[in-house]
Chain A
Amino acid sequence: MDKTINNKAWFLVLPVFLLVAFSAILPLMTVVNYSMQDTFGNNQFFWNGVGWFKELLDPSTDLGGRFLASLGRNLIFSLAILAIEVPLGIVVALSMPRAGWTVAFCLVVLALPLLIPWNVVGTIWQIFGRPDIGLLGYTLTSMGIDYNYVSNDLDAWFTVIIMDVWHWTSLVALLCYAGLKSIPDAYYQAAQIDGASRWAVFTAIQLPKMHRVLLIAVLLRFMDSFMIYTEPFVVTGGGPGNSTTFISIELVKIALGQFDLGKAAALSLVYNLIILIVCWVFYTIMTNAGAERRPTEGGA
């Protein structure tokens, strides 16, 4: 802890920094500039100060209401998929074989959804859920369930969540499987000698050993679901009404639909800040969780 860090090696990052300046920093500066002004096109800008931010953070205005509503929907969506994908991923990882040709088979099958592009996933589920030609929609309708993701809010949410679970549970499962594989057999043998139950093995050995990969899985899934755009856009287009309009969809509507660059810039900066804070918190927890455990592991 007392050792000083030689920071000079950071200068080697300068070429990348220059590249990032063009691809990210200059555009971000432009967004900050836009957020302070109003425009009517043709590069004519008018100073508006923090006006857009005031509107954005006031729930009684149109912009503020839309922002808070879509933020709420996004948080509910992220929590819902985390609540499903994390336990499901753990269960899938635990039930996977540990040796033999079935391991490769399971890994390939699990990896398949991860390889499909977002818009294709959206299209698959858009057709899959249709009551007239889609297998899911047709089956549910035949069973007497009134399912229509185009007109019913709950059905739209059900479809979007199930789609995300189908697409990304594999990632959680693969990460957990990697965590499980890293546990030496000695742990299981010790547990067997002690006569530990299956549940005790899970809570005392497997779960603590999966701690780090689970944190990574939660971070990745939270960030990805918080920034989700393509899949719900393709399946529901944000509808019915605004029921599945998440922040990124709202942002695109404001920026490219209404061409309100100032409002969209203010929204995207606040959106960016939220993501930055969450990322930092997760990253700090992750790096420190490892640092705290290292001495005990070394001493054991």
Chain B
Amino acid sequence: MDSIAWMAWTAPTAIFFAALACTLGVMTALAARYPEAERVGVLRIPTTRGDRLFISLITAAVIHLAWIGLVGTDTIASLPIGEEGFEVSSLWLATAISLASAVAIFRTV
């Protein structure tokens, strides 16, 4: 593990990248297994599933940054997990909005 110590891995970032890699892997498999046609949605541009995933990810990043900048990351709840409890940041609401927007993007764009 010393050889990658410079990468400074943490559990949350590892989970984040693993989830991202899984999403990309699944989308790649889907694209290979079930070829798709481009379609034109509300943005008036032809998009594939991959394009819509890209737009969703970028939108998610913007939503999270906007949330941090405009709303903040105050604790909204505390779950009784562990000795000190697990504090739930309001940033999870941004994650929920991002997921909802991703669904909307995949349906309409």
Contact = CB atoms under 8 A, between A and B. Distances in A.
Interface of A: 1-8, 10-11, 26, 29-30, 32-34, 36-37, 39, 43, 45, 47, 49-50, 53-54, 57-58, 270, 273, 276-277, 280, 284, 288, 291
A47 B65 CA distance: 19
Given A57-B68, A288-B45, A50 B73 contact: yes
Size class of the B contact interface (CB-based, 8 Å)? 20 to 34
Given A4-B37, A50-B91, A57 B6 contact: no
Classify the secondary structure of B's interface with A.
helix
B36 to A, nearest CB: 6
Contacts of A5: 35-38, 48
B52 to A, nearest CB: 13
Contacts, number: 80
Interface of B: 5-10, 12-13, 16-17, 28, 31-32, 35-40, 45-46, 48, 54, 58, 61-62, 65, 68-69, 72-73, 91
Classify the secondary structure of A's interface with B.
helix
B46 A1 contact: yes
Contact of A273 (B28, B32, B35, B58): B58
B7 A33 contact: yes
A291 B46 contact: yes
Contact of A280 (B10, B31, B40, B58): B58
Given A33-B9, A53-B68, A288-B45, A7 B32 contact: yes
Contacts of B65: 53, 57, 270, 273
A34 B9 CA distance: 9
A33 B46 contact: no
30 contacts: A1-B37, A1-B39, A1-B46, A3-B37, A4-B35, A6-B35, A7-B32, A26-B7, A29-B7, A29-B17, A33-B7, A33-B10, A33-B13, A34-B8, A36-B12, A36-B13, A39-B8, A45-B8, A47-B10, A50-B91, A53-B65, A53-B68, A54-B68, A54-B73, A57-B65, A57-B68, A273-B61, A273-B62, A280-B54, A280-B58
